Amino acid sequence: GFAIARRLGQDGAHVVISSRKQKNVDKAIEELQAEKLSVSGTVCHVSNPQHRKDLIEKVSITLFMCQSMYMPSMRAPTVVCRA
């Protein structure tokens, strides 16, 4: 996901980074901003319906790429992606 975000930013897109952990969001933003790319970010845990709703409401979507992985601690992965 990070490499795709970097490439989209290099191609002129404003990229919105999300992660379950704020420290991951901050690290990604810092690295991309150091490359003079347009980036912002927010915490979003895909198992939390409110986090998903907040992310969708915060961004103007041209392309929404959703990358998630199965977590054994979850009964079933739930990811809602809309564009």
Give pLDDT, residue 63.
56
Give pLDDT, residue 50.
92
Is the CB of residue 5 less than 8 Å from the CB of residue 28?
Answer: yes
24-66: pLDDT as tens digits: 999 999 999 999 999 999 899 888 999 988 888 877 665 555 5
Compare 68 and 56 and report the one with higher pLDDT. 56
Give pLDDT, residue 26.
96
The model's pTM is 0.69
Is the CB of residue 43 less than 8 Å from the CB of residue 18?
Answer: yes
Compare 67 and 15 and report the one with higher pLDDT. 15
- Cα distances (angstroms) measured from residue 67 to each of 34, 35, 36, 38: 24, 23, 24, 20
